[in-house]
Amino acid sequence: MSELKSCDIDGCEKPRKKNSHFCSMHTARYERTKRFDLQTPYERLMKRIVVSDDGCWNYTHYLNEFGYGRLRSNGKKILAHRLAYAHWHGDIPSGLLVCHKCDNPACVNPEHLFLGTPKDNSVDMASKGRNWLQRAKEQGLTFSVRKGILPDEYKKCN
């Protein structure tokens, strides 16, 4: 009986597929991406953006419920704008947020991103009239927050 040879990719000890030089994982990866190595998260990010007329680089793959792009890096889910900021500007210090000058959560343009504290982000949001209470008033909705009486559009969190 002949001994199974291992995959020809350096560091891969998996057995070769029958009539192939590569294991099933590397064969499938090559068929899917036309390359044997894994793409970096940054490469995947850049393949999934569309530049709009206003200069935003919109991430088009997966958007979470708040409209932020999300992808995986080293098995962890990360937000696309945080990955973009870290790639172009360096590490993000603990406790800081990556905020958008353009107010477009799908945007990953490094020129539209800046670091800020949660308070900075709230002040920026309020100065641009983007908090939910300001939007509700603009729509002519009246209600009392203290009494817990909210319009149907604004559901309470449990």
Q: Give the whole-angstrom CA distance, residue 3 versus residue 97.
A: 54
Note the maximum CA span of the chain: 82
Q: Give the residue from 124, 44, 121, 113 showing the smallest Cα distance to 81.
A: 113
CB atoms closer than 10 angstroms to residue 99: 19
What's the pTM value of the predicted model, to 2 decimals?
Answer: 0.66
Is the pLDDT confidence value at 158 over 70?
no
Q: Give the residue from 69, 6, 83, 2 showing the smallest Cα distance to 39.
A: 83
Is the pLDDT confidence value at 81 over 60?
yes
Is the pLDDT confidence value at 39 over 90?
no
Helix (H) or strand (E) holding 27: helix 24-33
Task: Tell me the β-bridge partners of 49.
Answer: 59
Any residues with CB less than 8 A from the CB of 122 and at least 6 apart, and which?
131
> Which tokens is 59 given?
């991430």
- How far the first Cα of the chain sits from its last, in Å, is 64
30: confidence class by pLDDT, cuts 50, 70, 90: confident
Task: Specify the pLDDT at position 21.
Answer: 85
Task: Specify the pLDDT at position 146.
Answer: 59
Instruction: Name the phi and psi angles at 127, rounded to 5.
Output: -65, -20
Task: Specify the pLDDT at position 77.
Answer: 93
Digit-coded pLDDT (tens) for 95-153:
999 999 998 999 999 999 999 999 998 888 888 877 766 667 777 766 655 555 555 55
1: confidence class by pLDDT, cuts 50, 70, 90: very low
Is the pLDDT confidence value at 92 over 50?
yes
Digit-coded pLDDT (tens) for 42-67:
888 899 999 999 999 999 999 999 89
Count Cα atoms within 13 angstroms, Cβ side, for 114.
Answer: 11
Dihedral (Cα; 120, 124, 130, 133), 10-degree rounding: 60
Mean pLDDT for 69-92 is 91
